[in-house]
């Protein structure tokens, strides 16, 4: 039969599910690929890899610091370790080992975390991860990737498998809105313009890209024309694309499921300031406080990170004399 109706790997999957599928694919093609987790194999989707390649799967129990140090040792032995646990544990509990054992040595360890942002909603402030991008951005040698959906995750993993140095890949527990319908080539240090527009530039990462597209569609019915950029590569960041967006629309809204301090909004703000761009910029994310406990969808609505909240922030930005971002609880 000619042609193929087989859908691309990752299409319609959450980023963590796509990670699990792609990790198996990478393991099939390279026996240097190994997986490490800390008593969370099923939850972070490395269980299938362990079933296929039991000799290349290492479960450290509730010992994330030990796991990170072991990943460094495996990398020094010529392996390509993929470390996976919850974002909050990889960021805070194992921070010293990540910094000193992995990043300081500039080792090819891929730290692929799940349950980032608010996606473990009922877990509350102890399990929300709203500081992880800021922490990993500040670590020398570290590359920071936040894919928008399942296909974005597959593309990123394919690119960073042989990347020179450590990489942090931030994945969600929930299924993100679909952004990409077909396979594409991800490039570190480059963003992707996923919707053309002239009135305002929405620069988002992770799950917020799909919701930004939904907000842009709603705003287009009101006569506004937003453009949306998927800034999956948070570090290094695409300075040229940010400059082009600022010059084109004169307005930028950054959207992230993260604190507005030190994350995507901070990275974009740094570029805007350093380039001396004349642009009105608003950072949409968590303000300087801990997020509360609740169902994921309700938390997104509470903090203005659902499609309706993103659209409301943009309306405020486009209204003379109105201060955007004042809606957050």
Successive 10-residue mean pLDDT values, the chain, 329 residues: 71 97 98 98 97 98 97 98 97 97 98 97 95 98 98 98 97 96 95 98 98 98 97 98 98 98 98 97 96 97 98 92 57
b/e string for 286-314 if b means 16 or more Cβ within 10 A? Answer: beeeebebeebeebbbbbbbbbebbbbbb
Backbone angles phi, psi at 180, to 5 degrees: -110, 135
Global pTM exceeds 0.85? yes
Q: What pLDDT was estimated at residue 7?
A: 87
Q: What pLDDT was estimated at residue 285?
A: 98
Distance CA 45, CA 272 (A): 38
The topology under which CATH files domain 192-318 is Rossmann fold (3.40.50)
Residues 6+ apart with CB under 8 A from 319: none
User: Helices (DSSP H) in 178-263: which residue ranges?
Assistant: 207-220, 239-249
Q: What pLDDT was estimated at residue 319?
A: 85
Q: What pLDDT was estimated at residue 6?
A: 80
Contact 129, 86 (CB under 8 A): yes
- Pick from 244, 40, 69: nearest CA to 57: 40
Q: What pLDDT was estimated at residue 326?
A: 45
Structure-block tokens of residue 3: 């042609």
Contact 195, 237 (CB under 8 A): no
Radius of gyration for the chain, computed over Cα atoms and rounded to the nearest angstrom: 19
Contact 259, 288 (CB under 8 A): yes
Domain coordinates in residue numbering, the chain: 15-170, 192-318
Beta bridge partners of 230: 192, 204
User: Helices (DSSP H) in the chain: which residue ranges?
Assistant: 15-29, 47-52, 64-76, 87-88, 95-97, 132-137, 150-160, 207-220, 239-249, 264-275, 296-302, 307-318
How many angstroms separate the Cα of 239 from the Cα of each of 32, 200, 268?
Answer: 34, 17, 8
Diameter over CA atoms, the chain: 62
Beta bridge partners of 235: 144
Q: Is the domain 15-170 a CATH 3.30.70.270 member?
A: no
Residues 6+ apart with CB under 8 A from 93: 64, 65
- Pick from 238, 241, 242, 227: nearest CA to 195: 227
Same fold, 15-170 and 192-318: yes
77 cis-preceded (ω within 30 degrees of 0): no
Beta strands 233-235; 143-145: pairing state? antiparallel
């Amino acid at each position: 039969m000619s042609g193929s109706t087989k859908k691309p790997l990752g299409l319609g999957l959450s980023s963590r599910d796509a990670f699990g599928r792609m990790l198996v694919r990478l393991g099939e093609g390279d026996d240097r690929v190994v997986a490490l987790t800390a008593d969370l194999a099923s939850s972070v989707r490395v269980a299938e890899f362990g079933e296929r390649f039991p000799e290349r799967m290492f479960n450290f129990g509730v010992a994330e610091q030990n796991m990170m140090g072991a990943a460094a040792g495996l990398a020094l032995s010529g392996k390509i370790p993929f470390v996976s646990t919850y974002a909050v544990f990889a960021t805070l509990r194992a921070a010293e080992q990540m910094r000193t054992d992995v990043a300081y040595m500039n080792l090819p360890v891929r730290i692929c975390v799940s349950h980032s942002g608010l996606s473990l909603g009922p877990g509350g402030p102890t399990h929300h991860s709203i500081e992880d991008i800021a922490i990993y951005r500040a670590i020398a040698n570290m590359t920071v990737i936040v894919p928008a959906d399942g296909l974005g995750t597959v593309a990123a993993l394919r690119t960073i498998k042989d990347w020179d140095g450590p990489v942090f890949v931030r994945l969600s527990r929930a299924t993100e809105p679909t952004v990409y319908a077909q396979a594409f080539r991800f490039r570190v240090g480059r963003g992707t313009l996923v919707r053309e527009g002239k009135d305002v530039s929405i620069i988002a990462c992770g799950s917020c890209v799909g919701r930004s597209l939904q907000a842009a569609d709603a705003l287009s019915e009101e006569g506004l024309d937003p453009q949306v950029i998927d800034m999956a590569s948070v570090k290094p960041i695409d300075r040229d694309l940010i400059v082009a967006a600022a010059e084109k629309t004169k307005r930028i809204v950054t959207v992230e499921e993260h604190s507005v301090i030190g994350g995507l909004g901070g990275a974009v703000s740094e570029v805007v300031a350093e380039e001396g761009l004349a642009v009105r910029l608003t950072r949409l994310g968590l303000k300087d406080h801990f997020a509360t406990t609740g169902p994921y969808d309700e938390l997104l609505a509470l903090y203005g990170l659902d499609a309706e909240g993103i659209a409301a922030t943009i309306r405020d930005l486009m209204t003379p004399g109105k201060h955007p971002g004042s809606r957050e609880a």
